[in-house]
Amino acid sequence: MISKAPAPGADTSGDPYLPAHGNGGYRTRHYDLTLDYKVAPNRLSASAVITAEATQALSRVSLDFGEFRINRVLVDGKAAKYLKRGVKLHVKPAKSIPAGAAFTVEVHYVGNPRPVGSRWGDVGWDELTDGALVASQPVGAPSWFPCNDHPSDKAAYRVSVTTASPYLVAVTGTLVERSTSASTTRWVFERPEPTATYLMSVQIGRYDDIELTGRGWGSPTGLGSRLLSLGFGQGRVESVTPTVPQHAAVPPRLRRAFERDFGRQGRMMEFLQRLFGPYPFAEYAIVVTDDDLDDPIEAQGMAIFGANHVDGRRTHERLVLHELAHQWFGNSLTVADWRHIWLNEGFATYAEWLWSEEIGGPSASALAASWHARIKAKPADVRIADPGVARMFDERVYKRGGLTLHALRAELGDRAFFALLKSWAGEHRHGLVTTDLFVAAAEVQAGRPLGAFFTRWLHTPALPPLP
């Protein structure tokens, strides 16, 4: 049975999987966050100014927010009444907000940030042994700022972080200002592109700042050279010299191993731009924490890895590529709701397989055949187009999503398939996507209906034969 979204109201986004996160009645346009963080006591004093537009008349505005003491709330600069109930902050302005009106909500708060508990474990702001990180997918953003916590409500950001000077701060955005006063440093970042709340991140630690631009560059080989032969290296977009500023924040003890493990970062960026079109953001940052992490984390224009992902042997290079691919699929192209998560994970998984082929490893066909056999041995009880909230991050969503793309490649042929990837990423740049939109785009590229194909691969639990 296909999940049906509840009707959105003031306290729900209407998401069929996570209706308690996100709120109705308005669209957020901009967050201005001012954070003062003390590392040792894990103490955050902060303010958030949220600029939004009412989509209906509002007598109150609801926000998702964690466990902080709220000192003051204003709407359009005037004091407003508020009520904190569970994970919701309800704000009642002095006057109702008419439909179509722009308004601001300003929240001043203080407390000890901690992760949000979820069925996937704790997510959000978390302490490191010496520092802090934010890993918010899918519901952790309220752990550090009041927000409309739904992927469809993308907004621009300005984030200011003040902390002790020995610590490096990395935020998802472009660093526009840094100033030191006494023993603290203030870092200011801007994120102008529309960004989902779960993709905003703050990283604080004793890191070296390493410039990556230009590392590992070289001529296309493997799949890259075949794309050239198909005409995907010709023209203004494909042949542009990659100039994306890339840098990394790395613990000094891991610097040598990092330089080996991430030595092909420049080549990865060139390769994915050849496949998917221009990189969609102004910069790319990599953070390696001094603590171990279960999994790498993608954020807007950033990827975060644990110390356990760096060994000097490129053991986890596929994950490096996977997180970079998410900048196109998941971050620039963001799912309209969580049912469509295969559009994030299936694309990043298939990008891994294409990279393996590019560097002389197992081909995409060989990897597809291997994973097809492994998935076939598992129960046939997941529909990729709507896996259900409990299976959003099931391995089969990732791998069968990749298999779907490999089967589509066989269905369309290389020229049409790779043209589809590039047009899909370009036409929906910084937008919201759904499975139906992708099916329609594939049918345009194919010049024929593909309903039966996508029914087999996305809507039927039984695994189809691999072409």
Per the prediction, the chain carries an average pLDDT of: 93
pLDDT interval class at 74 (50, 70, 90): very high
Q: Residue 241: its pLDDT value, please?
A: 43
206 CB-near residues (< 8 Å, 6+ apart): 130, 131, 166, 167, 168, 251, 252, 290
Q: Is the dihedral of CA 133, 139, 144, 150 positive or negative?
A: positive
Question: What's the token pair of residue 206?
Answer: 């004793």
| pLDDT digit string, tens, across residues 110-149 | 999 999 999 999 999 999 999 999 999 999 999 999 999 9
- The better pLDDT of the pair 323, 243 is held by 323
Residue pair 464/457 in contact by the 8 Å Cβ criterion: yes
Q: Residue 221: its pLDDT value, please?
A: 59
With pLDDT > 90 as the criterion, what percentage of the chain qualifies? 89
Q: Residue 364: its pLDDT value, please?
A: 98
| pLDDT digit string, tens, across residues 361-408 | 999 999 999 999 999 999 999 999 999 999 999 999 999 999 999 999
Burial category of 386 from C-beta neighbours within 10 Å (exposed 0-12, middle 13-18, buried 19 and up): buried
With a cut of 80, say whether residue 216 has pLDDT above it. no
With a cut of 70, say whether residue 234 has pLDDT above it. no
| pLDDT digit string, tens, across residues 340-371 | 999 999 999 999 999 999 999 999 999 999 99
Q: Residue 342: its pLDDT value, please?
A: 98
Residue pair 371/186 in contact by the 8 Å Cβ criterion: no
Residue recorded with tokens 């590529």: 321
pLDDT interval class at 13 (50, 70, 90): confident
Separation of CA 339 from chain center: 15
Quick one: which of 193, 171, 146 has its CA closest to 304? Answer: 171
Domains and CATH numbers, the chain: 26-206 (2.60.40.1730), 209-327 (3.30.2010.30), 335-459 (1.10.390.10)
Q: Residue 222: its pLDDT value, please?
A: 64
With a cut of 50, say whether residue 4 has pLDDT above it. no
Q: Residue 243: its pLDDT value, please?
A: 77
pLDDT interval class at 7 (50, 70, 90): very low
Q: Residue 14: its pLDDT value, please?
A: 79
With a cut of 80, say whether residue 60 has pLDDT above it. yes
Overall average pLDDT of the 441-459 stretch: 98
Q: Residue 218: its pLDDT value, please?
A: 40
| pLDDT digit string, tens, across residues 165-199 | 999 999 999 999 999 999 999 999 999 999 999 99
